[in-house]
Amino acid sequence: MPVEVVVGAQWGDEGKGKVVDYYSEGADVVARFNGGDNAGHTIVFRDREFKFHLLPSGIVRRGVWAVIGNGVAVNPEVLLRELSELEAKGISGYRLFISERAQVIMPYHLVLDGLEEAAKGGMKAGTTKRGIGPAYSDKVARFGITMGDLLEPGLLEKKLKLAVSVKGKLTAALGENARFDLKGMLESYLEMGQKLRKHIRNTSGLLVQALERKKHILMEGAQGTLLDPDHGTYPYVTSSNAVAGAASTGSGIGPRSIDWVVGVTKAYITRVGEGPFPTELRDDIGRHIREAGAEYGTTTGRPRRCGWLDLVALSHAVDVNGLDALAVTKLDVLGGLRRLNVAVAYKIDGGRTTSFPASIDRLARAEPVYRELDGWESLKPAEWTALAGRGLGALPDAAREYLDFIGGELGVPIELVSLGPAREATIDLRGELREGPAQRP
């Protein structure tokens, strides 16, 4: 049974939640390996909508084990809230395992996220203000607190004493004299630790055992390739790696266990937060896509910036993730536009390039070179769902040509096409394309 990794191939919000929910049928384990509650993954089934920030999307499938890996930064307060919301929606009997090595997002991380953003002025990333940057900074600066520490009062007190003193000075230096109550914090985090005790484990060991038993493991990425701190539009990125390689480091299984990597991309592209965006549409078409695609942040409610599909960026994602296949979502949203543009290259300072620039200033100067393609008609959601049931051949010719163009230009097969938020609105081409990941050369 394979280990599959699902990652975002753009700036996040590609529809990873939907794809992971769809793929988790038949999976034994679904594991998150990066990010924190900056993520917002939406899944829709039987007319119910779930928005997960920390919980792996597979948690709604009976019998699927949900793992929060060591690479995730956990805000335990958010996690407990998400669990009670899940139970209120009638999902019980789930199996959740949280890595003892996962970092904890503490109250001072939230304060520092705001202060650091303010200090950056025009260079701010437009973060979700969930304390993500400061929490991952603490991980590598070795100030971090782990989920396992919440079960060890002596160790937690020692670490918190140090952190509270240092963070107090840091906030003062950044212009706010925040006071952190050591005793109160200690009590409340120990209490949350007790509430989560039964879930906190050596999840790497659990995954390795699952591998030995030939279980089917699905790795759910958060954010997207262009938000990756190594490979994205740095510094307008998040603070944990979002590329496929992070599935190994963020979960504690070896890279050679990974059989198949799927990149999720919208049929267009969006970005929430700051930073250069070559194909951004600041016109009526952009506004139309935002409304038709309900492009408002799952976590922050911010309007998402919308633009034409960018194959320069997507090709970069194919390379840095080693994508085996693509899942293309939201094809329905483009319905009703007469002509569509797809960026195939950039013009920068008079030269033409198909290589995604590392410099954000060069990227900001990039003018997309577009290929114009025919659009297709606008259909109602129920009509798209009906079309999905009839397979690729039933799609409007122009929609099929659009997909063929993307797959052809990138040299990567499209194994899933999504035509709506629900499970049924999906064309699944995996049977045709995968000979079985294990036999892949």
* Residues near ligand IMO (CB under 6 A): 8, 11-13, 35, 38-41, 125-128, 130, 132-133, 222-224, 227, 238-239, 272-273, 298
CB 419 within 8 A of CB 385: yes
Token pair 């996690």 is found at: 79
Pick the closest to residue 335 from 416, 272, 395 (CA basis): 395
Q: Which alpha helices (DSSP H) does 301-429 contain, by range?
A: 311-321, 360-365, 381-390, 397-410
15 binds ligand GDP (CB under 6 A): yes
Give the pair of three-digit tokens for residue 234: 């740095």
Catalytic: which of 21, 37, 41, 228? 41
Torsion of CA 385, 288, 397, 9, to 10 degrees: -80
Among 41, 101, 199, 305, binds ligand GDP (CB under 6 A): 41
Binding segment (CB under 5 A) for Mg ion, from list 40-48, 163-171, 335-343, 395-403: 40-48
Shortest approach of ligand GDP to residue 331 CB, angstroms? 6
298 binds ligand GDP (CB under 6 A): yes
Among 58, 107, 131, 421, binds ligand GDP (CB under 6 A): 421
Give the pair of three-digit tokens for residue 116: 């650091």
Shortest approach of Mg ion to residue 182 CB, angstroms? 35
CB 203 within 8 A of CB 30: no
- Rounded Cα distance, 246 and 399, in Å: 33
Look up residue 234 and give its DSSP letter.
Answer: T
Residue 133: contacted member of Mg ion, ligand IMO, ligand GDP, none (CB under 5 to 8 Å, by partner type) = ligand IMO
Is 41 considered catalytic here?
Answer: yes
Look up residue 299 and give its DSSP letter.
Answer: T
Strands (E) located in 318-378? 325-329, 339-348, 351-353, 367-374
CB 344 within 8 A of CB 369: yes
Is 374 considered catalytic here?
Answer: no
Would you say 294 or 438 has its CB closer to ligand GDP?
294
Pick the closest to residue 269 from 368, 338, 362 (CA basis): 368
Residue 18: contacted member of ligand GDP, Mg ion, ligand IMO, none (CB under 5 to 8 Å, by partner type) = ligand GDP
Residue 132: contacted member of ligand GDP, ligand IMO, Mg ion, none (CB under 5 to 8 Å, by partner type) = ligand IMO
Shortest approach of ligand IMO to residue 366 CB, angstroms? 19
Would you say 301 or 411 has its CB closer to ligand IMO?
301
Interface ranges with ligand GDP (CB under 6 A): 8, 12-18, 40-42, 44, 293-294, 298, 329-330, 332-333, 418-421
